[in-house]
Chain A
């Protein structure tokens, strides 16, 4: 496969053709924040945290779905990008009820980690404080819509890794919700195989093992990448 040479933050980087800017940056040790990206699951460029500046493009482009090109000049960090990323994170925090101190994922949450990384000690927007249910109908897992950021990692893990197609998104905009099957209690789903891949994929405390208490949800997200690599490349790399 042909190699492409590009610069990321002024650093000369060599990448394989077809690789994304995100992968090339990470291979080169350059950190780009992400939330909807998860290794092994197809990218959709939804969360917009990985937006980067590319010389010659008037638009900001999501690094997770932008392929590398020869001679590309990428800027992963600027005042404008930092401002947007912070705003995205603040809006996510304001949209639902993210109460870190009592959350099952406290200390192991990607949203919390990113918020801390971006110096978010307060949110400038008014909290919406919606009244949302916790679905504890499944015998093994729970779904707390209060903590969901609609990254859809669970949906993609369910459809593309497990192939069960249980998880989906219903509604539009701010009314969007992750649902099971035809919007029924998770425990009544006929398609769910109880594999737990959605729980492993969740970046926050939205999906959790039943009975988990504060800060107890620690997930091994590398398992999904392992499964996909084994299936697609017949390589069993732990």
Chain B
């Protein structure tokens, strides 16, 4: 008899979602879907607002990665002003983004995902969480929490608050770094670096004992998309938009990421509020691609800082041309934390960061603005159309989590097929399926904004699971 298993809610992710697993007559996995059940709608209600408000409004999309939206939005607004922002402002924006990546990655690794593979899949759920981690590995947990705090402090030092700073504005930023703020951050850098390296070493041990997870937690060929500098160095704020295939060939390299529209299409599924972007030349769903730490590290030839470069070369040995195992997102995340800390070390003494020319002033010089930057979870696109007065008329947001949607569905299906065939269903198995999602660190509150086009599918089942009726609201 066909059966349906529902995991609702999916825990330890940012946002509300559920997973349904459809079993066939023989009890084998027939279909698995990852449904995002929350709706935010920013694309619609930003219409009619002055474009200068957009960074402040869109930062409110997310409490985990407000800086990512703030920066992508400010970059889109820079294009509407048609200005090059002062060099100091760009450096400061980059600095805040590094803090953002550190804190978000630390949250994903230590608070959300580490309990799975450090405590063990078989641990009861009430222990398999951050508190369990604190009990089992107090030093690592403490360092993880402090590492996230360090990232938050970078943001607070610049923006005045840890969450939702309205600091980046069209044309630049509001304030510079103060000498006191710089010194306070410098004092914390050694500890942060030590913590990140400790986590890296710990995770490498996990890799040696989790061969199966490497094989089945979303291990499949796909494209990878991300920003990279023209010479192939890891990038998080600007650069080329690059698409790589599953064996490491660059198949697309745009000097101007604003051309994204020619390669990214957006598909809508009836079962989820999450859009499914795909690589247009390969169609839907064949154009599935992944973004985020795994994609960025696959695309980058070097990180640009010594310790991170050393780790990257080790990372590259784990794949053939490109690393395809989604479980490696965790490893990539830790390498990026090290890279961010090293970059902060290298930039904090720059006197430009204390500068006073921080904001370019201009009117509406372009009716379209596209801002692209790397959020912790992947490439983030903010695309605005304004009228000649500067009132926003159309907003398109392409969020990292959406871009990973097809890959996340593929991942949950792969895990479910491997662990659920013909056997009894246990909580640790279901948790593995959730953990497959967690590897992508999805942020659902970030990613569900399309208006009208999103449809909700309703399926009416009888007691035996037979589909009686199906209605799709388009």
Contacts and interface: CB of A to CB of B under 8 A. Distances in A.
Contacts of B170: 211, 213
Contacts, number: 42
B56 interface: yes
B169 A213 contact: yes
Contact of B53 (A102, A133, A187): A102
Contact of A213 (B56, B60, B390): B56
B49 interface: yes
Contact of A136 (B57, B60, B361, B390): B390
A142 interface: yes
A134 B166 contact: no
B389 A137 contact: yes
Nearest to B362: A211
A133 B50 CA distance: 10
Given A101-B60, A101-B164, A134-B48, A213 B389 contact: no
A104 interface: yes
Given A211-B170, A213-B166, A213-B169, A136 B389 contact: yes
Contact of A134 (B169, B361, B391): B391
Interface in B167-204: 169-170
Contact of B50 (A131, A142, A187, A215): A142
Name the residue in A102, A213, A214 with the highest tally of chain B Cβ atoms < 10 Å from its Cβ. A213
A55 B169 CA distance: 54
B55 interface: yes
Contacts of B55: 213-214
Nearest to B165: A214
A107 B223 CA distance: 46
Given A211-B52, A211-B170, A102 B57 contact: yes
Contacts of B48: 131, 133-134
Interface in A210-227: 210-215
A62 B169 CA distance: 42
Interface string A39-53: 000000000000000
Nearest to A209: B52
A144 B57 CA distance: 15
A134 B56 CA distance: 17
A214 B169 CA distance: 9
A221 B390 CA distance: 27
Contacts of A211: 52, 170, 361
A210 B49 CA distance: 12
Contacts of B52: 210-213
A214 B166 contact: yes
Contacts of A187: 389
A1 to B, nearest CB: 48
Nearest to A104: B53
Nearest to B81: A211
Interface string A115-157: 0000000000000000101101100001010000000000000
A13 B15 CA distance: 58
Nearest to A142: B50
A102 B164 CA distance: 10
B162 to A, nearest CB: 15
Contacts of A137: 389
Nearest to B57: A102
Interface string A181-223: 0000001000000000000000000000011111100000000
B375 to A, nearest CB: 20
Interface in B31-77: 48-50, 52-53, 55-57, 60
Interface in A77-111: 101-102, 104
A133 B392 CA distance: 11
Interface in B391-441: 391
Contacts of A142: 50
B53 A210 contact: no
A134 B60 contact: no
A142 B51 CA distance: 12
A210 B48 CA distance: 15
Interface in B151-171: 164, 166, 169-170
Nearest to B54: A213
Contacts of B50: 134, 136, 142, 144, 210
A206 to B, nearest CB: 13
B445 to A, nearest CB: 15
Contacts of A131: 48
Interface in A20-65: none
B53 A213 contact: yes
A186 to B, nearest CB: 10
A210 B390 contact: yes
Nearest to A214: B56
A165 to B, nearest CB: 24
A213 B159 CA distance: 14
Nearest to B171: A211
Contacts of B389: 136-137, 187
B56 A102 contact: yes
Contact of B391 (A136, A212, A214): A136
A108 to B, nearest CB: 13
Contact of B49 (A101, A134, A215): A134
Contacts of B361: 211
B297 to A, nearest CB: 34
Interface string B355-395: 00000010000000000000000000000000001110000
Interface of B: 48-50, 52-53, 55-57, 60, 164, 166, 169-170, 361, 389-391
Given A136-B50, A213-B170, A214-B57, 14 more contacts: A102-B56, A133-B48, A134-B48, A136-B389, A137-B389, A187-B389, A210-B50, A210-B52, A212-B52, A213-B53, A213-B56, A213-B166, A214-B55, A214-B56
10 contacts: A102-B56, A134-B50, A210-B52, A210-B390, A211-B52, A212-B52, A213-B55, A213-B166, A214-B53, A214-B56
The 4 A-B pairs of least Cβ separation, nearest first, read A214-B56, A214-B166, A136-B389, A102-B57
